[in-house]
């Protein structure tokens, strides 16, 4: 039906307007999604009675469909000329008298029209007119106006009724009272008919956009005059209705949208943020729907939502209408795209995580939507291709550049034409508002607590308290201040209790869903997408919710001790050496990368292998010979990748790329894998490949593995990953470091292996450093430097082997001290040799992190850099500056 209706109409470059769309060469009439995270036009929500509790069903991202037929502007103009004089504009020039139009086409709006049509409609008009020509397509339509809304409330006598009801301050403390008052106001609005001239223009605009086709589908969404502000998102506070067919249905949904300004959650949200109810006007954005129910949709941010790191675009996606992502019904796929290399045309996807995507929302015949289970194939495949993710990121960058601030954007892919469309864009309101130079850090003080469950961390905070499991919004009155809210999922209706929670835990949802957005705004630690949290904890349990350990959030048994530190760094002075960081966990990289630093001096590759892969490389290379049980474990981990080798190489590449991006263009020194045999054995499949060694600490490890035929193919996969990061991904700031080089022959041989695998020292700016950590490295320091570009001193192993200690043994731990005179003599020798040869020398052991006085001594010896644990960066910097 869509095709037959549209194909019959022709487009002219001069004056044709599409059925809800703008010709690509013309000024765009295709709106982007609303700026509030009610949902976008690609989703569909069933109509509900405003007399009910009016819960939000955020719509999924709308999509503009190329190829739809277009309707002549002349016809639309003729219809408008017949409308009542009451709705004509007094003076159309901007800045003139009041605009008394009751409906305005989106293509005529700009971002300066928030007071006329609300934030969502104004933003859509802005993108249609300003960004369509640079490759940001947006669906079109029209908006009702604040003037029409005020006139409706005045003529219907509703204003006095509302003001009287909301003047009772007790409703903001009593959830039951709030629900009662909200329902009374919504009923009053729904019982009051629209004014005649408004209905006339509403029908004229419906006719203009739909061409009179009763099966033409709209998304009808709220657009408030106080929403999508840089410091308040109003995410999901009013209603959205999707897959709206026919004029009568659209009129009813506009009425319901008007009533939704007084949902319980919206009343509470405005009051808590100091917005006067009578000064907020509500408009309805009526936008062309798109067929994303047979495609995919999602949300993206033009920065990292957790750390505020601004050089990435964070993209999420799931199958079907975008409401499942927006509303937190589904755990979506996630990607990070690095902006600097995206601009260079490189393979800029630096990280990807496959979500479970257990369900999707699709259209119901005759209007509305329904949620159905996804297939096994959908659950085990990416809902967007790499090319689509990069194209979306390019759009996000263009939108961010136009608005001059980080943005929160909804998108959708049309299942019919396969094209991508932007359906909503609004300012990001949390991470971008953090004060520069102020470091807030939460840290667990009790280690080794019992982990009950885990999921996606929202924010970087820690909270604890007594669990209260809620299954329905009707249980609001049972929730007490400071409790830990545990639920299958939440939506914006839950905001009045979310603000009282000490922490929030949900089974479902991703880091861009409503629950996550509200939790960030409220500053409450939240863990979403746990899967089974409601089964793992019981009402009354005491738990600790930690979001301070990377992208993964953990729920611990009991109320564990933690600390919070806030530092205003001000201007840190220069000191006599470069302060770098030891960072191995890609999940923490974006947060640590914003500390004052000169790069990463030690990135342990084994951390990436252990956490992101968890499988022995030999087991992957011999996948076909694995037993059934082991194969199942491996298959679960490598979902979404082409095969075992592709999985291993790309996971390493993504981990290294994320670390490198966090400090780009500053250097990052990646130490190639230095697992001991007992550590390799603990990986999946490792038992059958690793020997039993009496002392693995000085056994088959480091460079000795790289040049051994047993490990040659495994090491080649590591090198392929590094080559990918430096080459096709464009992160040339990556250097490599070789650990545990016992002899000069090993030094020579490992360089030959590197060259054989396309990583020749000095070629394409590649630097190869050696980890100086053995007495042999000290005695033959100058000779070893013939094979390397510099030393990164590993003071942990150097201390162990100089003093003859096993640092894993508690019996001799009291003798372990990197400030021992013998160890310091070795350090001095290595520094002098590097200086003599004009080579780089830094230190990346634990010593300088634990002992700032050692860092001071190293500075006096002329060392180039000290690489510290992130929590030691500021204290050590301040210590050195004082001296």
Q: How much is the pLDDT for 255?
A: 96
Question: How much is the pLDDT for 547?
Answer: 92
pLDDT score at 103: 97
Residues 531, 525 contacting (CB under 8 angstroms): no
d(CA 322, CA 753): 48
CB 399 within 8 A of CB 136: yes
How far apart CA 253 and CA 41 sit, in angstroms, is 14
**E strands of 14-55, at which residues?**
16-18
User: Which residues does the chain have with pLDDT short of 70?
Assistant: 1-97, 226-238, 275, 277, 435-437, 492-493, 808, 883
Angle at the Cα of 374 from the Cα atoms of 373 and 375, rounded to 5 degrees? 120
Tell me whether residue 697 is exposed, middle or buried, using C-beta atoms within 10 angstroms of its C-beta: 0 to 12, 13 to 18, 19 or more: middle
562 pairs with which residues across the strands?
444
Structure tokens of 580?
Answer: 């770098």
Judge whether 844 counts as a catalytic residue: yes
Q: 231 is written with which tokens?
A: 């410091």
Between CA 569 and CA 778 the distance in angstroms is 38
**Cis geometry, peptide bond prior to residue 665 (ω within 30 degrees of 0):** yes
Predicted confidence at residue 411, as pLDDT, reads: 96
10: exposed, middle or buried (C-beta count within 10 Å: 0-12, 13-18, 19+)?
exposed
**pLDDT given for residue 534 in this prediction:** 95
Measure the CA–CA gap between 680 and 668, rounded to whole angstroms. 25
How many whole angstroms from its chain centre is CA 818? 41
DSSP 511-524: TTSHHHHHHHHHT-
Q: In whole angstroms, what is the distance from residue 231 CA to residue 678 CA? A: 51
Buried b (16+ CB within 10 A) or exposed e, 727-765: eebbbbbbbbbbbbbeeeebbebbbebbeebbbeeeeee
Cα 64 to chain centroid distance, Å, stands at 24
- In 145-288, beta strands by DSSP E: 217-224, 240-245, 282-288
For residues 225 and 116, give the distance between their C-alpha atoms in angstroms, rounded to a whole number.
8
Q: What is the structure's pLDDT at 195?
A: 93
C-alpha pair distances (Å), 236 with each of 239, 493, 514: 7, 9, 7
Of 138, 1, 118, nearest to 62 by C-alpha is: 138
Determine how β-strand 865-868 pairs with β-strand 578-582: parallel
Helix, coil or strand: residue 659: helix
Secondary structure class of 541 (helix, strand, coil): coil
Considering the candidates 283, 514, 616, 703, report the single residue annotated as catalytic: 514
Spatial strand order in the sheet of 217-224: 103-105, 141-144, 282-288, 217-224, 240-245
What is the pTM (predicted TM-score) of this model?
0.80
DSSP string for residues in 234-273: -TT-S-EEEEEESHHHHHHHHHHHHHGGGSHHHHHHHHHT
Residue 475 burial (CB < 10 Å; 0-12/13-18/19+)? middle
The pLDDT of residue 437 is: 67
Instruction: Give pLDDT, residue 280.
Output: 78
CB–CB of 812/806 below 8 Å?
yes
């Amino acid at each position: 039906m869509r095709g037959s209706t549209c194909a019959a109409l022709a487009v002219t470059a001069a004056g044709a307007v599409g059925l809800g769309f703008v010709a690509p060469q013309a000024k765009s009439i295709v709106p982007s999604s609303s700026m509030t995270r009610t949902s976008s036009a690609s989703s569909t929500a069933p109509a509900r009675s405003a007399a009910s509790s009016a819960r939000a069903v955020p719509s999924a991202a709308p999509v503009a469909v190329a190829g739809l037929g277009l309707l002549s502007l002349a016809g639309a103009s003729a219809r408008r000329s017949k409308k009542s004089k009451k709705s004509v504009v007094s003076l159309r020039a901007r800045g003139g008298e009041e605009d008394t139009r009751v409906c305005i086409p989106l293509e005529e709006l700009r971002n300066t029209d928030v007071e006329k049509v609300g934030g969502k409609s104004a933003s859509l008009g802005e993108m249609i007119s300003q960004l369509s020509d640079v490759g940001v397509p947006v669906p079109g339509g029209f908006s009702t106006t604040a003037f029409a809304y005020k006139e409706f409330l005045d003529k219907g006598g509703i204003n006095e009724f509302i003001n009287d009801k909301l003047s009772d301050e007790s409703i903001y403390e009593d959830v039951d009272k709030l629900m009662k008052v909200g329902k009374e106001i919504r009923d009053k609005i729904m019982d009051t008919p629209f004014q005649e001239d408004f209905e006339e223009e509403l029908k004229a605009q419906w006719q203009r956009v739909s061409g009179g086709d009763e099966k033409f589908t709209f998304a009808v969404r709220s657009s408030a005059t106080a929403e999508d502000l840089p410091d308040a998102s109003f995410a999901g506070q009013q209603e959205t209705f999707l897959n709206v067919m026919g004029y009568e249905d659209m009129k009813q949904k506009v009425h319901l949208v008007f009533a939704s300004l007084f949902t319980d959650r919206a009343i509470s949200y405005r009051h808590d943020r100091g917005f006067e109810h009578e000064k907020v006007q509500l408009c309805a954005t009526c936008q062309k729907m798109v067929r994303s129910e047979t495609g995919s949709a999602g949300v993206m941010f033009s920065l990292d939502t957790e750390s505020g790191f601004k050089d990435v675009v964070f993209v999420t996606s799931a199958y079907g209408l975008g409401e499942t992502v927006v509303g937190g019904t589904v755990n979506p796929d996630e990607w990070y795209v690095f902006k600097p290399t995206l601009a260079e045309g490189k393979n800029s996807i630096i990280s990807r995580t496959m979500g479970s995507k257990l369900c999707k929302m699709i259209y119901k015949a005759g209007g509305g939507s329904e949620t159905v289970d996804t297939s096994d194939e959908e659950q085990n495949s990416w809902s967007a291709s790499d090319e689509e993710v990069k194209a979306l990121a390019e759009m996000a960058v263009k939108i961010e550049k136009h608005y001059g601030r980080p943005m929160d954007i909804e998108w959708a892919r049309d299942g019919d034409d396969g094209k991508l469309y932007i359906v909503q864009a609004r300012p990001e309101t949390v991470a971008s508002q953090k004060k520069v130079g102020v470091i807030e850090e939460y840290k667990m003080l009790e280690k080794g607590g019992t982990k009950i469950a885990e999921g996606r961390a929202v924010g970087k905070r820690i909270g604890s308290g007594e669990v209260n499991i809620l299954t329905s919004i009707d249980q609001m009155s049972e929730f007490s201040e400071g409790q830990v809210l545990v639920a299958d999922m939440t939506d914006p209706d839950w905001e009045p209790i979310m603000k009282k929670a000490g922490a929030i835990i949900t089974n479902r949802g991703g880091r861009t869903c409503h629950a996550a957005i509200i939790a960030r705004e409220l500053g409450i630690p939240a863990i979403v997408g746990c899967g089974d949290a409601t089964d793992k904890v019981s009402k009354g349990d005491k738990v600790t919710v930690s979001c301070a350990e990377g992208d993964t959030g953990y729920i611990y048994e009991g109320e564990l001790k933690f600390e919070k530190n806030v530092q205003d760094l001000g201007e840190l002075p220069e000191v006599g050496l470069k302060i770098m960081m030891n960072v191995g966990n890609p999940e923490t990289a974006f947060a640590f990368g914003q500390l004052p630093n000169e790069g990463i001096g030690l990135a342990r590759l084994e951390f990436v292998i252990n956490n992101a892969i968890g499988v022995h490389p030999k087991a992957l290379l011999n996948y076909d010979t694995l037993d059934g049980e082991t194969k199942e474990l491996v298959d679960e981990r490598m979902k979404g990748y082409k095969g075992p080798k592709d999985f291993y190489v790309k996971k390493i590449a993504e981990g290294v790329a994320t670390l490198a991006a966090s400090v780009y263009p500053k250097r990052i020194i990646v130490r190639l894998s230095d697992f001991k045999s007992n550590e390799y054995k603990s990986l999946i499949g490792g038992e059958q490949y690793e020997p039993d060694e009496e002392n693995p600490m000085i056994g088959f490890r480091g460079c000795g593995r790289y040049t051994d035929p047993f490990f040659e193919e495994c090491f080649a996969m590591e090198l392929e990953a590094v080559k990918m990061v430096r080459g096709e991904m464009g992160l040339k700031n990556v250097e490599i470091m070789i650990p545990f080089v016992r002899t000069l022959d090993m030094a020579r041989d490992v360089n030959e292996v590197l060259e054989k695998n396309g990583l020749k020292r000095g070629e394409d700016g590649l630097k190869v450093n050696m980890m100086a950590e053995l007495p042999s490295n000290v005695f033959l320091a100058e000779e070893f430097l013939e094979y390397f570009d510099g030393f990164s001193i590993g003071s942990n192993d150097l201390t162990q082997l100089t003093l003859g200690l096993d640092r894993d043994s508690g019996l001799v731990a009291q003798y372990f001290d990197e400030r021992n005179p013998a160890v310091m003599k070795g350090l001095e020798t290595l520094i002098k040799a590097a200086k003599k040869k004009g080579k780089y020398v830094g230190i990346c052991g634990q010593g300088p992190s634990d002992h700032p006085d050692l860092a001071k001594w190293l500075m006096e010896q002329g060392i180039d850099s000290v690489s510290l644990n992130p929590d030691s960066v500021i204290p050590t910097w301040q210590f050195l500056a004082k001296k």
